[in-house]
Amino acid sequence: MVQIVISSKAGEGPAEWLLVELQGEMVSRQNTGLAGNLMGDLHYTKEGVPVLIVGHHILYGKQVKLEKPFEMMETNQENPTFYTVSALIKKKLIFKTRPKPIITNVPKKV
Amino acid sequence: MRTLEEVQATLQIAKVKEEDLQPVSYCLSFGDYVSTTVSWSWMIHFQLTISVLIIKQDTSNLLLFVPGCKSPDEQISASPQLMHAQIWGFSNCYWELRRQRPRLKKLKKLLMENPYDGPAVGMQEEAPGLKYTMDDLLERIQASREEIEIENLYIVKHRPVFVGFWRILDFDYKMKLLGHVTQLVDSESWSFSRVPLSACLEELGSLEPKAMIEHCLNCYGRRYSIEDGQVMYALDEDKVCRATAQLLLQKKKCRFNLSEFQEVWQQSVPEGMSARLDQLRGLALLDRSTKPETISLLREEDLPEDTLERFNSLFSLREKWMQDDIEPYIQDLCGEKQTTGALLTKHARSSVQSGFKGVYNSRRPVSN
């Protein structure tokens, strides 16, 4: 039976990351791949509602505390069953509602 | 890099009022290398090592991992600011770690192939038979080192001394050891809760190895120290009576007359201890429907480990069970946060018998 060892880096606690959950998939404009590209602007309202502006869309989401936190783990090259916790995720921002389009060119009334 | 002014301009176009927002905003972008083959997991807070099942979970949603990005309730500044956060990676699957019951029946089965019944007599070589070290066991059993260690096994050090073999004590041998201890307690008129270790070892060391005497005390008592540092044991009445009952019930593979059994049992336990039927949960099955009432050996450990097989086995033995009677035989099947009631609802059908609720029978045809 496999024995997996999980430990946190000695001395320091793991860093805390944020998880953003979206529906659908993400593609780059010219299909050139996502690396190096801007994704969007993330804002929070005074009530704590996360607002995400991606391209021509605006999404409203909410913050959810994870029932079971996520752990980001790195494996050890020499010992594949030895994992070190490099980050912890305790909450996520989930965007479930339909994105609203942002109209940039409003035709002027004649 | 996007500037605060550009972000504010976008907000204007999107018709979002800046005064409704918190002062700090984040500009999310993908790094030069974006991780897509992420394998990560839920974490279960544990202090000991435990057995887990690792399950891959797919989600229809896209999960983005953003280091260094604060959540809405973590205000870091009162003045408008744009923070740049890089998305480390994304994925649409993750690994879940689910706590699993350690499969210890297999452990017992392996060890019962060659139980330890005392040291070799005289010049006799230790009887041949399979012996397992901890590493051997970890390789064969779905359990962690700590889960195995708490199973009160005895580690016998054969030559070479630094190799320890984990053995299980033969039941009759354990009872023999217990008999020596209780007889000594009786002759010395000690209280059951104040049994001195050193005196036991001194008096009984000539009959059995000292390590075995101590192991027996650990199995049937609670160890503690008193003011002057002396080690004492408090014998556990329930454990002693239960073991005595097992010894009696094991003698014959049949049912015993309940009242006759209770009489013999009380006489067999050390004087001063009370033999009570509630001590036999998970060990013996009472049948109050027959005249005379009977009792027979039914050990939870002898039943199948798999949930469906276990229920099948129980319903083959007895068609209808009262909840209180069946509970000790299904308790260990309960997963994390699961109750016996939930298990019964899932695997059995309840009915009302003679006005009593909580009678269960099988949902499926029972296969023998």
pTM for the predicted model, two decimal places: 0.60
> Is B1 strand, coil or helix?
coil
Answer for the pair A18, B70: CB distance below 8 angstroms, yes or no: yes
* B150-185: pLDDT as tens digits: 665 655 544 333 346 677 778 888 899 999 999 999
Highest mean pLDDT among A7-16, A18-27, B4-13: B4-13
At residue A41 the predicted structure's pLDDT band, cuts being 50, 70 and 90, is: very high
Query: What pLDDT, on the 0 to 100 scale, is given for residue B104?
Result: 72
Does residue A11 have a pLDDT over 60? no
At residue A110 the predicted structure's pLDDT band, cuts being 50, 70 and 90, is: low
Question: A85 or A59: which carries more pLDDT confidence?
Answer: A59
Query: What pLDDT, on the 0 to 100 scale, is given for residue B79?
Result: 84
With beta carbons under 8 A apart, name residues in chain A contacting B2.
38, 41
Are B43 and A70 inside 8 Å of each other by CB? yes
Query: What pLDDT, on the 0 to 100 scale, is given for residue B61?
Result: 84
Answer for the pair B220, B212: CB distance below 8 angstroms, yes or no: no
Answer for the pair B311, B298: CB distance below 8 angstroms, yes or no: no
> Is B56 strand, coil or helix?
strand
Query: What pLDDT, on the 0 to 100 scale, is given for residue B124?
Result: 55
Query: What pLDDT, on the 0 to 100 scale, is given for residue B38?
Result: 46
Query: What pLDDT, on the 0 to 100 scale, is given for residue B43?
Result: 35
Distance between B136 CA and the closest CA of chain A, angstroms: 10
Taking phi over 0 as left and psi of -120 to 50 as alpha, with beta for the rest, B355 belongs to left
B255 vs A64: CA distance, rounded Å: 58
Q: Which two tokens stand for residue B175?
A: 């009872």
Interface list for B 205-234 with A (CB within 8 A)? none
Mutate to test the interface with B, among A6, A18, A46, A86 (most CBs of B within 10 A): A18
B359 vs B323: CA distance, rounded Å: 6
Are A17 and B22 inside 8 Å of each other by CB? no
In eight-state DSSP terms, residue A32 is S
- Report DSSP letters for B258-313, one per residue: HHHHHHHHHHHSPTTPPP-GGGGTTTEEEE-SSSS-EEEE--GGGS-SSHHHHHHH
Domains present along chain B, CATH in parentheses: 4-99 (no CATH), 105-166 (no CATH), 171-235 (1.10.10), 303-368 (1.10.10)
**Distance in Å from the first CA to the final CA of chain A:** 77
In eight-state DSSP terms, residue B19 is G
Answer for the pair B70, B92: CB distance below 8 angstroms, yes or no: no
Question: A104 or B263: which carries more pLDDT confidence?
Answer: B263
Query: What pLDDT, on the 0 to 100 scale, is given for residue B47?
Result: 36
Chain B residue with minimal CA distance to A3?
A: B144
* B246-280: pLDDT as tens digits: 999 998 778 899 999 999 999 999 999 999 999 99
Does the CB of B9 have a partner CB in chain A at under 8 Å? no
Residues 6 or more apart whose CB falls under 8 angstroms from that of B293 comprise: B257, B258, B259, B286, B287
Interface list for B 128-147 with A (CB within 8 A)? 138-145
List, in sequence order, every beta strand (DSSP E) within A34-110: 38-44, 50-54, 57-60, 62-75, 82-95, 100-101
Show contacts of B121-128: CB within 8 Å, 24+ apart: B126/B158
Question: A6 or B256: which carries more pLDDT confidence?
Answer: B256
B26 vs A93: CA distance, rounded Å: 13
B331 vs B343: CA distance, rounded Å: 9
Distance of CA B67 to the CA centre of its chain: 38
For residue A61, count CB atoms less than 10 angstroms from its CB and return exposed for 0-12, middle for 13-18, buried for 19 or more.
buried
B366 vs B311: CA distance, rounded Å: 9
Low-confidence ranges of chain B (pLDDT < 50): 37-48, 157-163
Give the pairing type, strands A62-75 and B24-35: unpaired
* A48-71: pLDDT as tens digits: 899 999 888 999 999 999 887 777
Nearest to B21 among A44, A70, A71 (CB): A44
Chain B residue with minimal CA distance to A43?
A: B25
Interface list for B 321-350 with A (CB within 8 A)? none
Nearest to A19 among B22, B26, B65 (CB): B65
Helix (H) or strand (E) holding B316: helix B307-317
Nearest to A26 among B7, B32, B62 (CB): B62
